[in-house]
Amino acid sequence: MTYNCTIEQEGDMFIVQFPDMPNIQTYGNTHEEALAMAQEALEGCLESDISRGLSIPPPAYKEGYSVPVANHIALSLRLRELRGEQSQTDIARRLGLSYQSYQRLENPRKANPTVKTLERIARVYGRELTISM
């Protein structure tokens, strides 16, 4: 999963903005530093917003520079997307997990699922688990 950002030079700084995430803005002294700061700011904001249960806009902006999202954050977002309007309690029951255990899966600061848990999640949602390296 990636979000794209814009980078514009203003004086001796490079300003980064994410059109899909208007609450994120950062900068760097070089273009490379600005991209590194962009990833840090994006992941920090996503982790915080997910933890607080806020709605996260899907990546839509395709111009600019692609910034990858860490796998643990992407997994949390994907689980929320797959769950849709179903409650965490309902999904936990279908997975044979406690509500608290499932809740941790959707929190990137706490999630650390095993492959077996990911396989069960894939079955519940009628999906195939694919792992790419």
Mean pLDDT taken over the chain: 93
Is the separation of the CB atoms in 54 and 107 below 8 Å? no
How many domains are there within the chain? 2
In a domain, 88, yes or no: yes
| pLDDT tens-digit map of 62-107 | 999 999 999 899 999 999 999 999 999 999 999 999 999 999 999 9
User: Rounded to the nearest 5 degrees, what angle is found at the Cα of 89, between the Cα atoms of 84 and 93?
Assistant: 105
The residue range of the domain holding 11 is 2-68
Q: What is the pTM of this model?
A: 0.84
Q: How confident is the model at residue 21 (pLDDT cuts 50, 70, 90)?
A: very high
**Is 76 inside a domain boundary?**
no
Q: What is the CATH number of the domain that holds 41?
A: 3.30.160.250
- Per the document, the length of the chain is 133
**pLDDT at site 133:** 66
What are the tens digits of pLDDT across the range 31-52?
A: 999 999 999 999 999 999 998 8
